[in-house]
Structure 1
Amino acid sequence: MRLARKVTISVLALFIPPTVVAGLVLILLHRRGLLEEPGTLLMAGLAGLAVMVAYLAVVAMGLGRSLVRTVEELRHGAELIATVNPDHRLEVRTGDELQALGDEINRLGDRLRAAGAGPDTAPAPGALEPATWGGAQAARVTAPLDALTFVVLDTETTGIRPEAGDRVVWLAAVRVIGAEVRQHEVFDVLVDPGRPVPPESVRIHGIDNDVLVGAPTLEAVLPSFYEFVGNAVVVGHEVSFDLRFLAPVARRLGLPPLSARAVLDTGDLSRAVHRSATGHDLEALALRLGVPVISRHSALGDALTTAEILVRLLALLKNRGVSTLGEALEAARRARTPAL
């Protein structure tokens, strides 16, 4: 078990260094013939004990700081859990269970952020677990991947922090049916963010304030985007970023969060397929899979590139025995979850 190994390593780490130091001191004294003098052996023993005490004190200080951090992280995790179910109670008896709890809290935090939840806002019902999906979404879990419709989306924004006021400036998506990217079935709209676009963001996507004059707001655009999505499976590359920007506006409009349905992330699917690879950014995936990069950092270009990547990843997953949506979701979950 992991806990037993950790305890063994910790005990060895505590006692081996001071024991080695004390042994080296005794060897040095012996070589100089000092151990024959009265009291020297006692002094050497006391010196070794002092070294051990000092070492243990330093280790204890480090453990204390680590314990404080752990307690703080668990407190934050409890707040996340209370956001979803205030009546839930935890029972943790072993170190392995504690490790598993930490992993679950991390996953829950990711799902909450994707659902648009914050310190003062709970996610919409059904935003966390596939088991709570209703109707068509629940039925699709067992559907073959090549029989599904996907909508691959991408956004460009004023920055990376919606909680700090950053907003969408470009929303685009393309429909994928089975293994076919429908390049003429696209959603492609510039969006007025209601704030100036910073120069550093303009340098990335090229959308400045002049381009956005007369553009509709996201509040005006999102209902038609939801119509375009329909009952399709939502896909994106590191898609939680995009969903974080859409969720608050959807909530204000009374629309269900897109995270409340089946969502696939090509980054996670890549990690499931290419377990030993170190790069899973869009360019790395495109290069690895032989997909041409189309107009990088344009919302439509990135959506089209991601769609082609999705088709290739789904084919590779099928070769590995992953043929249904539920199996793909599970493969993606395992890929982003550290093994216990």
Structure 2
Amino acid sequence: MRFDPIIQFMKQVQSKVHSSIYAPLQRQSNPQHHAFLRQLEKERKLNESLSIPLKELSVVVFDLETTGFFPEQGDEILSIGAIKVKGETVQPNETFYSLVRCDRALPPEIRELTGIREEDVAKAPEVSEVLVEFYKFVKGDVLVAHHADHEKNFLQHSNWKLFRSPLKHRIIDTSFLFKIAEANINLVRLEDYCEHCGISVQDRHHALGDAKMAARLWSVYVKKVQGLGCKNLHDVYERISIK
């Protein structure tokens, strides 16, 4: 009991520090963005997604084009592309795409790789606006990306920097399914997997083009892992844990 005054003091200090950190953010940020993200958080049910049958699971397969690989060193998102998949069925009319504003010169290799130019992104929406629209498109669905660390790092960094909120969406890496269905196939690049599965490679290094190809891969491998006994994401995680 003698520690109660100390505990109370620490709580007061933490409260003041918390307020001093978040007050500037609250004054500068769009309150509608924060209201939407709070509502999204209430609606999301991450644990339920683990038990939904894969044949019924709704996912959003997405891709980011960026100025580099290290958001913590200043690299930025240039575009976001996404498409929805229900079970094994790609939804061709359920897509999202947007360029993202960038006010600095793009690295020459990025211009060559993506085809994006400075004039394309100079008047594009701010990243905060694009992310909110993207999350509206996603709603509570599971996110999927091909070798997802790149996308996950940028979303985590942007969420904290812009909204002071951690990324709460579940992100599944396509490689999880590859490792279960074809553990002996040593492929990495998206186009290599597409060629392996007979999927035509189109609009490579365009965010929506890559998302569409990754979605077709997801569709193929969801069917394969179900044939191997994986009924839901819980089974997928369990299989991966023993690989």
Shared fold per TM-score greater than 0.5: yes
> Partner of 1:211 in structure 2?
120
User: For the structure 1 residues 135 and 225, does the alpha-carbon distance in structure 2 shift closer, same or farther, using more than 3 Å as the test?
Assistant: closer
Identity %: 31
**Aligned partners of 1:270 and 1:285 also within 8 Å:** no
> Partner of 2:228 in structure 1?
320
Unaligned runs of 5+ in 1: 1-133, 336-340
By how many angstroms is 1:253 displaced?
A: 3.7
> Partner of 2:143 in structure 1?
234
By how many angstroms is 1:281 displaced?
A: 2.0
User: For the structure 1 residues 332 and 184, does the alpha-carbon distance in structure 2 shift closer, same or farther, using more than 3 Å as the test?
Assistant: farther
**Aligned partners of 1:155 and 1:169 also within 8 Å:** yes
By how many angstroms is 1:291 displaced?
A: 1.4
Once residues 315 and 273 of structure 1 are traced to their aligned partners in structure 2, the CA distance between those partners, rounded to angstroms, is 10
- 1:86-111 C-alpha deviation (Å, 9 max, x unpaired): xxxxxxxxxxxxxxxxxxxxxxxxxx
Once residues 210 and 107 of structure 2 are traced to their aligned partners in structure 1, the CA distance between those partners, rounded to angstroms, is 21
Once residues 154 and 89 of structure 2 are traced to their aligned partners in structure 1, the CA distance between those partners, rounded to angstroms, is 28
User: For the structure 1 residues 257 and 284, does the alpha-carbon distance in structure 2 shift closer, same or farther, using more than 3 Å as the test?
Assistant: farther
User: For the structure 1 residues 213 and 193, does the alpha-carbon distance in structure 2 shift closer, same or farther, using more than 3 Å as the test?
Assistant: closer
Q: Which of the pair is proportionally richer in strand? A: 2
Once residues 176 and 264 of structure 1 are traced to their aligned partners in structure 2, the CA distance between those partners, rounded to angstroms, is 13
Q: Which amino acid aligns with 2:87?
A: G
Q: For 1:47-196, list aligned pairs within 5 A.
A: 136-196=45-105
DSSP-derived class of the 2:104 partner = coil
Return the TM-score normalized by structure 1. 0.56
Tell me the number of residue pairs that the alignment of Structure 1 and Structure 2 aligns: 201
Once residues 249 and 195 of structure 1 are traced to their aligned partners in structure 2, the CA distance between those partners, rounded to angstroms, is 18
By how many angstroms is 1:171 displaced?
A: 0.6
Once residues 282 and 257 of structure 1 are traced to their aligned partners in structure 2, the CA distance between those partners, rounded to angstroms, is 28
2:211 to 294, 303, 311: 303
By how many angstroms is 1:198 displaced?
A: 0.7
**Aligned partners of 2:102 and 2:122 also within 8 Å:** no
By how many angstroms is 1:329 displaced?
A: 2.8
By how many angstroms is 1:202 displaced?
A: 0.7
> Partner of 1:225 in structure 2?
134
Cα-Cα RMSD: 1.8
User: 2:198 aligned with 1:290, yes or no?
Assistant: yes
By how many angstroms is 1:254 displaced?
A: 3.0
**Aligned partners of 1:268 and 1:332 also within 8 Å:** yes
Once residues 44 and 81 of structure 2 are traced to their aligned partners in structure 1, the CA distance between those partners, rounded to angstroms, is 27
Once residues 64 and 204 of structure 2 are traced to their aligned partners in structure 1, the CA distance between those partners, rounded to angstroms, is 12
Return the TM-score normalized by structure 2. 0.77
Unaligned runs of 5+ in 2: 1-42
By how many angstroms is 1:247 displaced?
A: 1.5
**Aligned partners of 2:103 and 2:122 also within 8 Å:** no
DSSP-derived class of the 1:147 partner = coil
Once residues 234 and 164 of structure 2 are traced to their aligned partners in structure 1, the CA distance between those partners, rounded to angstroms, is 24
**Aligned partners of 1:187 and 1:228 also within 8 Å:** yes
Once residues 327 and 195 of structure 1 are traced to their aligned partners in structure 2, the CA distance between those partners, rounded to angstroms, is 45
By how many angstroms is 1:278 displaced?
A: 1.5
By how many angstroms is 1:178 displaced?
A: 1.5
Larger radius of gyration: 1
> Partner of 2:156 in structure 1?
247
Once residues 235 and 297 of structure 1 are traced to their aligned partners in structure 2, the CA distance between those partners, rounded to angstroms, is 17
Q: Which amino acid aligns with 2:207?
A: A
User: For the structure 1 residues 280 and 331, does the alpha-carbon distance in structure 2 shift closer, same or farther, using more than 3 Å as the test?
Assistant: farther
Once residues 183 and 155 of structure 1 are traced to their aligned partners in structure 2, the CA distance between those partners, rounded to angstroms, is 19
Q: Which amino acid aligns with 2:215?
A: A
By how many angstroms is 1:334 displaced?
A: 4.4
Once residues 257 and 236 of structure 1 are traced to their aligned partners in structure 2, the CA distance between those partners, rounded to angstroms, is 18
By how many angstroms is 1:156 displaced?
A: 0.5
Once residues 230 and 189 of structure 1 are traced to their aligned partners in structure 2, the CA distance between those partners, rounded to angstroms, is 17
Once residues 255 and 231 of structure 1 are traced to their aligned partners in structure 2, the CA distance between those partners, rounded to angstroms, is 19
By how many angstroms is 1:267 displaced?
A: 2.0
By how many angstroms is 1:142 displaced?
A: 1.2
